[in-house]
């Protein structure tokens, strides 16, 4: 298998979720920050890892022939 740098990471290849920048939580408004109750990121389900590569930073491409 061939691997490529994951283009969906926060920064290509870093393994962090681009929606929450690896925090696992999303900031929706200033009032949420005041009370400290930030919602879980729906893209990574709170893990902080890129959902495409699972936090590895690389994706496999191609397939086996034969």
| Structure confidence by residue, pLDDT tens digits, 2-29 | 999 999 999 999 999 999 999 999 876 5
Domains identified in the chain, total number? 1
Give residue 8's domain range. Answer: 1-66
Mean pLDDT of 29-58: 84
What is the model's pLDDT at position 66? 46
> Which residues does 51 contact at the CB level (< 8 Å), separation at least 6?
8, 17, 43, 44, 45
Residue 54 pLDDT: 96
Better pLDDT: 34 or 16: 16
pTM over 0.85: no
């Amino acid at each position: 298998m061939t691997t490529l740098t994951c283009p969906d990471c926060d920064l290509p290849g870093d393994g962090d979720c681009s929606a929450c920048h690896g925090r696992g939580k999303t900031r929706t408004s200033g009032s949420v920050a005041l009370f400290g109750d930030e919602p879980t990121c729906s893209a990574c389900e709170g893990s902080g890892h890129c959902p495409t590569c699972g936090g590895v930073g690389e994706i496999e491409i191609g397939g086996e022939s034969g």
